[in-house]
Structure 1
Amino acid sequence: MTPGGDSLAAYAEDGPFATTSQSGGFSCTIYRPISLQDDHPVILWGNGTGASPSTYGSGLRHWASWGFVVAAANTSNAGSGEEMLDCLDYLQGTSYADQLDFSNVGASGHSQGGGGTIMAARDNRITATAPVQPYILGLGHETSSQYQQTAPMLLLSGSVDTLAGPTLNQAPVYRRVDVPVFWATLRGASHFEPVGNMGDFRGITTAWWLYQLTGDADAADLFTGPCEVCGLSDWDVERKGL
């Protein structure tokens, strides 16, 4: 699942898999490759307040095109992380569970769902996270969860986000968590950057999942060592443990 280039733009292009979406019981929506092979990593998704999986549908399908099976919780209040973990339980009971790699499970979400991502990641089945502009000042989020992380984190911010601004919502997370963190702030991005197709968060999240959930060496180079993302003009980066 390695793209042809080493820039974020390469990962913002669709991957090799044709995708489909389907109901995951009453509580989840599944975005996945149409033809499942073996060992597809899993990504759990939590929506922002008032949003649904379809709010981010193009972006979730994009991740699926790279071979991931995405389970999005059908709730507009994902701050506790519980509904996200329920979707993991659902996948473990499906007829295609044997084709999924439950040793590589990501968790991600936007705004309230970003806070829910941090809550969900207290579960040791989660092996990597990507909270997108997480809101941590309530709505089900507990500050204690930030001290209970065990999975590497891609923490995303928007520089002109006025609803879950970096100073009050992402900077404390970066300081508190005791795991490897790559904190990337997109210059000029508002709170609604990921709505639809993930916007300019699409490439960096896809690369992160390939690095963390598949061990892709080209994707890893974006975040580790000399850190190719660190030199991109659109991003301000802080990192620890990477």
Structure 2
Amino acid sequence: MGKLEVLSKEYDSNDDLMKKIIIWYPADIETSSLKYPIVLWANGTGSKSETYKAFFKHLASWGFIVVGNDDENTRTGDSLNGTIDFLIKENEVSNSIFYNKLDLNNIGLGGHSQGGPAVFNMAGKQNNKEKIKVVYAASPTSSYHTNIFKDGWEYNMSLINVPTFMTAGIGSFDAGTATSANQKSDEKSGVMQGIAPLWSLEENYNLLSDNIDKAYARKIGVDHGDSYLQFDGYMTAWFRYYLMNDKEAEKAFFGENPEIIKNPNYQDVKINIRKFNN
């Protein structure tokens, strides 16, 4: 946890997709003259904001305003886009505790599982995409599955033009056994397409422009269900650097020997940071 005490506030969005909106925020917001950077979260399939309660509280303790909703099928990014519209309006409500406290120039996106396609679609093609400064995705659903599911699941990584960090576990549900998108899941032959296998992280990474900062990493002993919790520290550092210019957080990914590369709990780490490559 960070040093800040946190509180939360719940709103009825009057929207069938988002349902309720929950905002976690530093408790000193009413007496502070600061504007706070924002992290929006996209739920995994069938999950609501309650699933990520401890997660939101953690991020808010590090100085973010963290916003979730109860969309259980986030894939298109529509509910993230609607949440941004809500925050823009709330920032202008004079009797709101968030009045002029939302730093709308520093918005980050995070998502888990189906929330991966959600943040990719939000940053790539939604109306408010220009407001997004940084992206994070834990165990993002691979193109193998999105091409099967269709119905708004598909995403185009080449449309994203902001720093993007992807994580996954090496457990069987995340990693599977397939080594490419061309292999079909076949239990008899022992081929299983994981939700976020290494080939998918590499595919997404390569489709992202080399002109943006990008990275991925896999953690040992982690699988799909709790992967969003297992990467909490590095996710927080990613947001702290890009949304707050935190020089301590910078050490996790930047420099000749980034901390994440030296961490024995991680493997398959790949990083392209422009300031050190150009």
TM interval, short-chain normalised: 0.7 to 0.9
Structure with bigger gyration radius: 2
User: Scaled by the length of structure 2, what TM-score is found?
Assistant: 0.77
Distance 2:266 2:260 in 1: 7
Query: What residue number does 1:141 align with?
Result: 153
1:38-187, aligned counterparts within 5 Å?
38-94=34-90, 95=96, 96-122=98-124, 123-136=129-142, 137-138=145-146, 140-143=152-155, 145-160=156-171, 161=174, 162=176, 163-167=194-198, 169-178=200-209, 179-187=212-220
Partners of 2:254 and 2:273 within 8 A in 1: no
Residue-pair matches, total: 225
Q: How does 1:27-42 map to 2 (within 5 A)?
A: 27=18, 28-36=21-29, 37=32, 38-42=34-38
Q: Report the residue type matching 2:25 in the other structure.
A: R
Deviation (angstroms), 1:97: 4.0
Matches within 5 A, 1:216-227: 216-225=246-255, 226-227=257-258
Deviation at 1:120, TM superposition (A): 0.7
| Cross-structure match for 2:239 | 209
Matched residues in 2 for 1:120 and 1:97: separation?
Answer: 25
Structure 2: runs of 5 or more not aligned: 91-95, 177-193
Q: What is the distance in 1 between the residues matched to 2:200 and 2:38?
A: 26
Q: Distance in 1 between matches of 2:272 and 2:88?
A: 33
What SS class does the counterpart of residue 142 from structure 1 fall into? Answer: coil
Report the Cα offset of residue 35 of structure 1.
Answer: 2.3
Higher helix share goes to which structure?
A: 2
**Whole-Å Cα distance in 1 between the matches of residues 38 and 111 of structure 2?**
14
Deviation at 1:168, TM superposition (A): 5.0
CA distance in 2, matches of 1:184, 1:97: 38
User: Which position in structure 1 is the counterpart of 2:223?
Assistant: 190
Contact 1:44 1:85 in 2 (8 A): no
For 1:223 and 1:101, locate their aligned partners in 2 and report how far apart those are by CA, in whole Å: 24
2:2 to 15, 22, 25: 15
Q: Once the two structures are aligned, what percentage of the paired residues are identical?
A: 27
Stretch deviating more after TM superposition (164-173 or 126-135): 164-173
After superposing on structure 2, the runs of 4+ consecutive aligned residues of structure 1 that deviate more than 3 Å are none
TM-score normalised per structure 1 = 0.88
RMSD (Å) for aligned C-alpha atoms: 1.6
* 1:71 to partner: Cα distance: 1.1
